[in-house]
Amino acid sequence: MAGYLLPALLLLTACQEAPSGAEPAAPEARAGEAEDARGGQALPPRAAAQAPLRVYDAVPVRRFPHERTAFTQGLFFADGALFESTGKRGASRIRRIDLRTGRAAREAALPDEIFGEGATAVGDRIVSLSWRAGRGFVHDLETLEREGEFPIEGEGWGLAYDPQADRLILSDGTPRLRFLDPETYEETGELLVTLRGEPVPLLNELEWVEGEIFANVWQQEAIVRIDPESGEVGGLIDVSALYPAAMREDPRDDVANGIAYEPGSGRLFLTGKRWPTLFEVELRERG
Ligand SMILES: [Ca+2]
């Protein structure tokens, strides 16, 4: 599967290295896309040449501790605090984080059989997902106690809340994001995410950032910036320098995952699964 994950970053590199006016070289990994019924559609050269794709580096401005046991699946700000949801069966938690220590100031466990996934706040609730159990959970924002649940069709990966349209945004590992009513949790629509006309698979942790959807891409060292109307990726954030893969105990599992934006301050935080550090970053566009 790993070969299938490469198009975004390879494309990023190709964009940087291609001489002006030239088409980016087709990465070898694209051959694998023919196996995917959703992929493999050739992009007209003219459209590719016109597509603006901004590339950013995530530059750390502050570092905070992050618990090595936290298999980060969701990260978000609410009520002036940072919250995190974690995965793995028997270790799935919803946690209010003390930024100074990285530890949970308060936490609630999900049932032992549940593999926790993304989470976000909606009003005075936290909504969280499970991976393949078909269950979503509702927690009290203050106490974190579980006070309800709802069914999920298919897998649950990432979750964010769009305050402009008052809707939840759910990722499930496909290039398709789903919108859910934040009261009934019923699906109200969907969005195909594309980069230069090609579907972007494996969308993972999500964040609503000033009118854009930011998404980690599983096992990619890049965050995509998605237009919530068209689904087009207009920017890539390179996060490979934050915690290099070579330093990770398990490079396959301990991937970049976790994006939290604080609207009032504009602070953006990034981390990964079982990373020792939570990074506050600035985005610097490559010239
Ligand atoms: Ca998030």
Nearest to 157 by CA among 208, 119, 191, 122: 119
Say how many Å lie between the CA of residue 86 and the centre of ligand 1: 12
Structure confidence at residue 201 (pLDDT) = 97
Number of domains within the chain:
1
Cα–Cα distance measured from residue 140 to residue 260, given in angstroms and rounded to the nearest whole number? 19
Spatial neighbors of 176 by CB under 8 A, at least 6 apart, are: 190, 191, 192, 193
Say how many Å lie between the CA of residue 32 and the centre of ligand 1: 30
Q: What is the mean pLDDT of each run of 10 residues along the chain (287 residues)?
A: 43 45 36 35 47 92 97 97 97 97 98 98 98 98 98 98 98 98 98 97 98 97 98 98 94 96 97 98 96
Structure confidence at residue 171 (pLDDT) = 98
Residue that has been written with the tokens 């980069």 in this structure:
195
Say how many Å lie between the CA of residue 188 and the centre of ligand 1: 21
Task: Assign 193 to helix, strand or coil.
Answer: coil
Structure confidence at residue 287 (pLDDT) = 84
**pTM for the complete prediction?**
0.85
Strands, E assignment, 102-197: 104-109, 116-122, 125-130, 135-140, 146-151, 158-162, 167-171, 176-180, 187-192, 194-195
Structure confidence at residue 90 (pLDDT) = 96
| CATH number of the domain bearing residue 180 | 2.110.10.10
Say how many Å lie between the CA of residue 25 and the centre of ligand 1: 33
Say how many Å lie between the CA of residue 68 and the centre of ligand 1: 19
Structure confidence at residue 76 (pLDDT) = 98
User: Domain range for residue 178?
Assistant: 2-285
The answer to whether residues 223 and 6 touch, using CB atoms and an 8 Å cutoff, is no
